[in-house]
Structures are given as structure tokens and as C-alpha cells.
Amino acid sequence: MMLRTFFTRLAAGLSIFTASTAGAYDNTRYPPFEASLTGRGFQNISIHPNGEEWLISEYSDAFTPYANCSLFIYSLRDHSYKRLDLPTSYDYVGANFSPSGEQIVFVRQPPSKKGDHADIKNSYANGEIVIMNRDGSGYRVLPIPRNRILFPILSPSGEKLAYLVASSDKPLARGMNMAFYEIWEFDFKSGEHQLFAGPINFYHAAVISYLSESEIIAGAIFPEHTGTVERPDYLGQYQASEIFRIKRGMRFAPEPGYYDLPYAKLPTTDRKRNIFYQTAPANIGFSLVRRDASGNTTLWREPRMNMASVSRYSAAPSGDYVAFIYRGPPLRSKHGTSALGYFDLKTEKWIPVIPPPVSESTLIPLKLHH
């Protein structure tokens, strides 16, 4: 029954793909792409509303004797790479622009200087959310308990902030990650924080985006109550989809969405309400999908990346292009295993992006008034 359901969904997905793929793009072959041969420590990308500036979190040992994560502004226009002048006593991860582009929100956590398991776990467990203006003014650590916090992001109005938190510890032998994940939300007017929905207990979660003031799309692995012991048909029924649409106040996890094509994951959105994500049809392999607000779907086959694979997509607010991080063993170096690129929807070309080395970045002075 499970296999029959899987192949039924697969056939349905392929028919949608065939009908809606742009005619100029050839999905029967890999598109050209000059993949990087050198790894970097890229952790996250967020794109400014002007479409020209990328906010990048990158690990490097250029300024410290250990790998430290700093924030940079990369310009697509002049290819400059500028580092925000934040104290090196913290790592700054999961940074995102506000919808207006006037503010930056990120997680700061103590760096892992030793690199052993206990040191890394201590670093993760002491994350705090910071919000500040582009120039560093208004620097504010939000009154949220320290925890393993990921991917803070502001709502369209800027009145709320959602973020992922590693909640209760998992029992032993229940997945490789050490904790379940929940979506929390901070209200700037009341100063309070609470669960956005649930508790849901995702086995893992990596990315969220607001679809509206009251709905979030999450890239996550199935909630606890759908585990393979309780629901052996779950992965087949939903083709291993890792995308959930969650409305504020939901008591239980919704079913995953976007499973007409298999292995849907890594969702990202633009301000036109297009949703981009990765999928992997059997006869094509890893591909980027755009689904518009009317449900129309377009698919582009991803290029070969020297055996590396996309680990994060980030749509430009305009929807004109989608930036991505790709990583894998061929990119291994002491600085990391990741590289950057973007897919231009107008030209339908995959373009590599190589910012200048961290050691050559220029400094952006900040007005850090706490």
C-alpha cells in the first residue's frame, strides 16, 4: 500500500512538472555551472529588498585563533565584501534582514574555541537573539531565555519575531539530533514570547518564513507523533516532504505539504507569495521548484556540483533570483565545506558567487548603543 501511494504521488507530480516547466529550459540534461573547488564557512544568506546586498554569516579563523562566525555584506553589484564590526567574543549566526531591510536580526552565541562535543554543545545552548539597525544603533538583546536558537525572522509588519528553539531532549536512539524543535514567537509590543503553535516536537527543523502575519512555512522533519513506529506509511504517503504550513495557535502539527513531487524541502519565499523549494523527481534528480500563489509550478533541474548538494535556498524578495549555499566533501578545507551561487529566473542560468576572502574584507563601523 505504501509503495502504491508513493508511485501514485510520483506520477501526479511528474505530470504537473511536464505541463508547467518553461519551454526554454532543458530538464533532460544538467545545466552548466562552474562549481567552486574551495570550501568556505558559509552558514546563512539573507537578501536585502534592494536585491543587491546579501547578508552572510561565515565562519573563518582570519581574525581569531579559532573558527569564528561573523556577519558580512556582499554586494552583487561591485562584488565587495564588508564585515560588520561586531565583537569577536561571540559567533553571529542565522542572520536575516527585516522585510524593510532597515534592521538585522541574528543569534549570538559564545564561540566554540576547543571544538570538542561539550564545547560545541555549550555554545549552542547559550544562543541569544539580537536585533539592531543597519548601522548598529538600537542594538538590543531580546529578553528570551538562552537556548539552542535558530533562524530568527521578523514578521511582515515587524511587530513579531519567529524563531526555532531546540526544546526538550530526545530519548536516546531517537534520531541523531539531541533535541526536538519548536517554533516560538516574540511580540515586540508586549515583550512576551510564547509557542507559535503546538507543542509540535519536530525531529529537526532548519528554516522558517512568514507567509503572512499569522502563518509560517517551515522546513522540518516530521513531528514526533508521526514517527515511523506510530505511522509506518508516513514517508510514503507524503513522499518524504519536509515542508509544513503552520498557522498561529494550531494545537497539533498539520500534515506536510507540497508532496506532489518527492522529497520537497528547503522552502523559501518572496514578497509575491511565491514559494521556492527543492525536490527530487526520480527521472531528473535534485531540482528547484517555484510554486506561485495560484498553485502553478515551474521546475528547473539543478546543476552538477562536484558531488556537493544545495543545503539552503534564499529567495530575493523580488523573486528575480534565488541564492543558495551548496556543500559537500569535494569542498572540504580547513575553512569549511560550503560555497555560494544563485539561480537567475530571467536568464535561467546558475551563477557561482565567490566573495573575496574574509582576510581581505573591509570593515563596516557600527554604532553599537545597547
What digits encode the pLDDT tens for the residues 172-223? 444 445 578 999 999 999 999 999 998 988 888 989 999 999 999 999 987 7
pLDDT at 22 over 70: no
More confident: 1 or 134: 134
Exposed, middle or buried by CB within 10 Å (0-12, 13-18, 19+), for 295?
exposed
Confidence of residue 356 (pLDDT cuts 50, 70, 90): very high
Whole-angstrom Cα distance, residue 368 to residue 370? 6
pLDDT at 158 over 50: yes
Whole-angstrom Cα distance, residue 19 to residue 13? 10
Whole-angstrom Cα distance, residue 309 to residue 220? 18
pLDDT at 163 over 70: yes
Least confident range from 194-208, 230-244, 266-280, 301-315: namely 230-244
Residue 21's pLDDT is 44
Whole-angstrom Cα distance, residue 36 to residue 54? 19
Note whether 305 and 324 are within 8 A (CB): no
> What b/e sequence results for 175-207 when a residue is b if at least 16 CB atoms lie within 10 Å of its CB, and e otherwise?
eeeebbbbbbbbebeeeebebbbbbbbbbbbbb
Residue 232's pLDDT is 61
More confident: 96 or 252: 96
pLDDT at 170 over 60: no
Which of 89, 77, 91 has the alpha carbon at shortest distance from 44? Answer: 91
Q: Is residue 370 part of a domain?
A: no
Confidence of residue 13 (pLDDT cuts 50, 70, 90): very low
Confidence of residue 113 (pLDDT cuts 50, 70, 90): confident
Q: Is residue 254 part of a domain?
A: yes
Please report, as a single letter, which amino acid is at residue 36.
Answer: S
Residue 227's pLDDT is 53
Residue 180's pLDDT is 85
Q: Is residue 176 part of a domain?
A: yes
pLDDT at 252 over 90: no
Residue 308's pLDDT is 76
The number of domains in the chain is 1
Residue 169's pLDDT is 60
pLDDT at 31 over 90: yes
Q: Is residue 369 part of a domain?
A: no
Residue 223's pLDDT is 79
Q: Among residues of the chain, what percentage have pLDDT more than 90? A: 64
Coil, strand or helix at 17: helix
Least confident range from 20-34, 99-113, 339-353: namely 20-34
Which of the residue ranges 38-42, 91-95, 176-180, 325-329 has the most confident prediction, judged by mean pLDDT? 91-95
Q: Is residue 237 part of a domain?
A: yes
Q: Which residue range(s) make up the domain with 259? A: 2-364
Residue 355's pLDDT is 96
Confidence of residue 55 (pLDDT cuts 50, 70, 90): very high
Average pLDDT (43-49) is 97
Residue positions counted in the chain: 370
pLDDT at 337 over 70: yes
Domain of residue 86, CATH code: 2.120.10.30
CA dist 166 → 35, 95, 226, 291 (Å): 34, 18, 18, 30
